[in-house]
Amino acid sequence: MRKLLVVMSGVLVLSNAIWGYLYWSRTVSEQTIPIAEDELSLYTMSGSGHLWEITGHKILISSDKIMRGRGKLTYKGEPYDLENSRYIEITFRESTPDGRMETVSSNEYRSLDGPVSILANVEQLGSMTSPYSSGEFNKTKMDYENTVMEVTWEDDRGQMQTEIVELDIEGEIIL
């Protein structure tokens, strides 16, 4: 019970920090919708595959924007397996209301002259904030629950590997 209370408190503090950042980073011209009319939803997600684990991936939805990202990606294998890797791509896909999967963000790291520091580059994934795309207003919690992350990387032997990790919503806050 105590552990649950600590986790929920952490999620609450984190969501308030994210909301505060988004609110205060707006310019005056962007603040056209009174804050009382805004509904804000935050989904915190995680998932684990055979070799990769993601924690703290967030989807923050406001009335006019959506932010995705800020997760931490961890390689569960031996670090030396990635020592000389020169490529990694991380792609997030979400379900659409009509059942298709659509790519919502993708990051690629590539080096032609030496290894990419994969473990350093995935320690804290970036985020992307954008206006809604077409069909975004029709998405439900279930569509976000069907988010997957695909990691494609070159291993130490120069072989391309791919793993798909299903994400689950582990925390939800609606303000």
Task: Say what the pLDDT of residue 16 is.
Answer: 67
Handedness of CA 25, 28, 31, 35 (dihedral sign): positive
Domain that holds residue 166: 2-174
Mean pLDDT of the chain: 82
Residue 143 · residue 96 · CB < 8 Å: yes
Of 31-45, 63-77, 81-95, 156-170, give the lowest mean pLDDT range: 31-45
CA nearest neighbour of 104 among 72, 64, 136? 136
The domain total for the chain is 1
Q: What is the pLDDT of residue 49?
A: 97
pLDDT for residue 106 is more than 80: yes
User: Which pTM was predicted?
Assistant: 0.75
